[in-house]
Structure 1
């Protein structure tokens, strides 16, 4: 394995490119060797950025779900602050 890039930051485009390559048939092991990213990191990106099919046929990623949850909580807090229940 030998690729120890602890603390290295990758931008979102790079991460999604790796996931796309994986989804196109490249193995995590090959991608790890070629790009110097650990297999564990690649698998976490796959989990985060791979599309999930919804009931209505659209797709969403785990990352998008997390962002929507965060936004929903923020909006709920704003709503409670602006319009308290009586």
Structure 2
């Protein structure tokens, strides 16, 4: 069984899609690439990304928290204006 060779731009595209939130298993099925290969590409290109995976995770958590806070404030504003 021969292993497939993927060019660098393809690998970076897959890594970028993962950074944008796509699941590794989903990408693997869609592009017919093993999840193991995708994990290795992520490791390989992690240093090239503008922010680290740890930073991205922290930003995503903060974004989620802020969205929840906005919703709470919207509800409070609705309650305050209805009185």
Distance 1:6 1:24, change over 3 A: farther
Q: Does 1:29 find its partner at 2:25?
A: yes
- Count of aligned pairs: 52
Structure 1 residues 39-81: Cα deviation after superposition (integer angstroms, max 9, x where no partner): 000000000002368xxxx77xxxxxxxxxxxxxxxxxxxxxx
Distance 1:27 1:8, change over 3 A: same
Relative to the length of structure 2, the TM-score reads 0.54
| Gaps in structure 2 of 5+ consecutive residues | 52-83
Structure showing greater radius of gyration is 2
* Structure that is richer in strand per residue: 1
Which residue is equivalent to 1:39? 35
Over the aligned positions, Cα root-mean-square deviation in angstroms equals 2.6
| Gaps in structure 1 of 5+ consecutive residues | 60-86
| Structure-2 separation of matches of 1:9 and 1:20 | 19
